[in-house]
Amino acid sequence: MDYIKLSKEISYALRHAPWEYELELDKDGFVQISQLIDALNNGDNYGRTVTIYDLTRINAESDKKRFEIKDDRIRALYGHTIPMHISKEIVTPPNILYHGTTYKAANLILDTGLKPMRRQYVHLSVDIDTAERVGRRRDGSPVILKVDAAKASADGIIFYEGNDKVVLADFVPGEYISRLK
């Protein structure tokens, strides 16, 4: 099984286009595993048959925890762009968070704050290494921004659970952001 390809397709289905798979997400972004498996195997299935075992392997085969399985349901933990709002659990953030991005975006962010852009939430990294990897998707030598999450949180900015490396927010004003490198 090509787990990278499968992970990309499930990300697409659960984050961006569930209707293409006739999936209905609940308010937390979960769908029934059986429905997802049927949809994956019924469409253009690339000659593969996905089983529940494969779904349990995806996180293990990756350096990122993109999905969560709970009982008979599965969801993407972050990244959603669908119009229906996915609720996330509120968390107390670590004191400092990071965000890796391009030079051009970094200057705009310092001015106007971190915005979710096409996604439902802003994505922040818990460490510099993770932020570097996020930023390198767009720029070989990304800018790393530092977010004073302790101060932002004390001032009422709300943070939400993503996964072990990702923390989410609705918006982070520029006053809490500085350039690390």
Residue 146 found at the interface with ligand HQG (CB under 6 A) = no
Sheet order of strands, 30-32 included: 30-32, 73-76, 67-70
Residue 63 found at the interface with ligand HQG (CB under 6 A) = no
Q: Considering the complex, what minimum distance in angstroms separates the CB of residue 47 from ligand HQG?
A: 25
Residue 16 found at the interface with ligand HQG (CB under 6 A) = no
Residue 40 found at the interface with ligand HQG (CB under 6 A) = no
Residue 62 found at the interface with ligand HQG (CB under 6 A) = no
The site for ligand HQG, by CB under 6 A, has a size of 18
Q: Which amino acid is present at 176?
A: Y
In whole angstroms, what is the distance from residue 103 CA to residue 134 CA? Answer: 14
Residue 123 found at the interface with ligand HQG (CB under 6 A) = yes
By beta carbon distance, the residue nearest ligand HQG is 101
Please say whether the beta carbons of 88 and 160 come within 8 A.
yes
- Binding ligand HQG (rule: CB under 6 A), the pick from 44, 83, 117, 156 is 117
- Binding ligand HQG (rule: CB under 6 A), the pick from 63, 71, 118, 156 is 118
- Binding ligand HQG (rule: CB under 6 A), the pick from 5, 48, 138, 151 is 138
Taking the least distance from each CB to ligand HQG, the nearer of 48 and 136 is 136
- Binding ligand HQG (rule: CB under 6 A), the pick from 105, 126, 144, 169 is 105
Residues that bind ligand HQG (CB under 6 A): 64, 66, 79, 101, 105, 108-109, 112-115, 117-119, 123, 134, 138, 166
